[in-house]
Structure 1
């Protein structure tokens, strides 16, 4: 198993891509802190994982990804359980589909606060722990729109461009501590978030311009996260892996 005895924090793990990554990590032997915006949703995800992996070491954690104090408490909870953090997956995020003339300051700021400031705060907190334990792997969730933007997605695409910059800058700063920082950039994935922000016409258009001709299931992205979390990628840092059916080339 590629992640045996490794401990991982996964934010936004109660559903969608985050849940699929948690499932893949558990399958590979990791101990996983399943983090959601509410501890109740995190507990439901843990219960679901336990159905398939009854022996898995899992803890549910509720965290407000926009709050430094809440993030610090999340880290404290994980360290009390396992005494180390080997892997951080910054997956929690929100989207917003509004024309720029309809987007308020708060609309824009709230997306940046969760999608970009939140991962920065998590990295700052967790990297300090990893530094004291000889290193680790940090994986951010970016997006195809972090490469070329998106109509009606001013805030979301800006946050994902920011994630790419955060990934590369942190890789340069933290490499000296054997902390690797990479990102996975999904294309169109069949998640609840996409269902709420992309209508049928938009989905069909995305399918047409995707070389593989379809949207992805969340589990089809999980392998990229496993690779970046494992010792298979010990010389990989500052990289954005596009898992988008060939949409961005």
Structure 2
């Protein structure tokens, strides 16, 4: 039997790498998208090979529907199937709404939300034909509770779960599940760039468990949702945020 294939968008980031690694450990063939401007592709691939991983990396501007179609076509050409799609790609352009440029709004909505529509649309039919598939959308605690200076990011991340619920209703009868994972603050490079004083005085006091999350913890949840055993979970938004926001 051929191995199942998982495609992870934004797979070269901190969380994306953890998800790729965990899905590889679970026996998936793993493909990942990265931005065409990402200069770390070769170093990242070398590091994964040192770990015993063979990952297919496809450059794609996931805000562009045509680029998403091409990325999916390449993965299908090389692997023959895509069983799991993890919509993980995301960017921030933080500013208060009064100072937010139109380009900041469209850049974040394009990468964080339009990509979910485009990538999912292009993988869905072959999942339906096989009557099995998993779509996992990586949202954020700030899509649930909001955040100062993140009207664009919060809107995109909240929109992801609306997409999840609607699509889950459409494809449940075809054996395809669609779920959202909403992480809190994780120990990644993006979060490490937060000023130490802000981290100490504003972020950590709001997390009941008193620490940042580990990308591997989120990756473990993604691996469960990608599994055969998660077939009765669909349309869910699963929070993994240390108690920062309870819903």
Compute the TM-score of the two structures, normalised by the length of structure 2.
0.93
Cα distance in 2 for partners of 1:87, 1:245 equals: 26
Does the Cα contact within 8 Å between 1:84 and 1:133 map onto a contact in 2? no
2:76 corresponds, among 68, 79, 82, to 79
Cα distance in 1 for partners of 2:213, 2:58 equals: 27
The aligned residue for residue 3 of structure 2 is 5
Q: How does 1:226-245 map to 2 (within 5 A)?
A: 226-245=223-242
Q: Which runs of 5+ in 1 are unaligned?
A: none
The aligned residue for residue 199 of structure 2 is 203
What is the Cα deviation at residue 99 of structure 1?
1.2
2:95 corresponds, among 83, 94, 98, to 98
Deviations 1:37-87 (A, max 9, x none): 13754443332121112xx44211111101111111111111111111100
Does the Cα contact within 8 Å between 2:12 and 2:41 map onto a contact in 1? yes
The aligned residue for residue 109 of structure 1 is 106
How large is the Cα RMSD of the aligned pairs? 1.5
Cα distance in 1 for partners of 2:139, 2:120 equals: 15
Q: How does 1:30-109 map to 2 (within 5 A)?
A: 30-38=28-36, 41-53=40-52, 56-109=53-106
The aligned residue for residue 179 of structure 2 is 182
1:142 corresponds, among 136, 139, 163, to 139
2:15 corresponds, among 7, 14, 17, to 17
Deviations 1:154-185 (A, max 9, x none): 11111111011111111111212211100111
Give SS of 2:63's match.
coil
What is the Cα deviation at residue 119 of structure 1?
0.9
Compute the TM-score of the two structures, normalised by the length of structure 1.
0.93
Q: Which runs of 5+ in 2 are unaligned?
A: none
1:160 corresponds, among 157, 160, 169, to 157
Cα distance in 2 for partners of 1:165, 1:57 equals: 34
Cα distance in 2 for partners of 1:22, 1:16 equals: 10
Cα distance in 2 for partners of 1:63, 1:6 equals: 22
Cα distance in 1 for partners of 2:29, 2:96 equals: 42
Aligned pairs, how many?
Answer: 243
Give SS of 2:98's match.
helix
1:133 corresponds, among 122, 130, 135, to 130
Greater than 4 Å deviation, 4+ residue runs: none
What is the Cα deviation at residue 152 of structure 1?
1.0
Cα distance in 2 for partners of 1:42, 1:181 equals: 29
What is the Cα deviation at residue 107 of structure 1?
0.8
Cα distance in 1 for partners of 2:236, 2:42 equals: 32
The 3 A distance-change label for structure 1 pair 43 and 228 is: farther
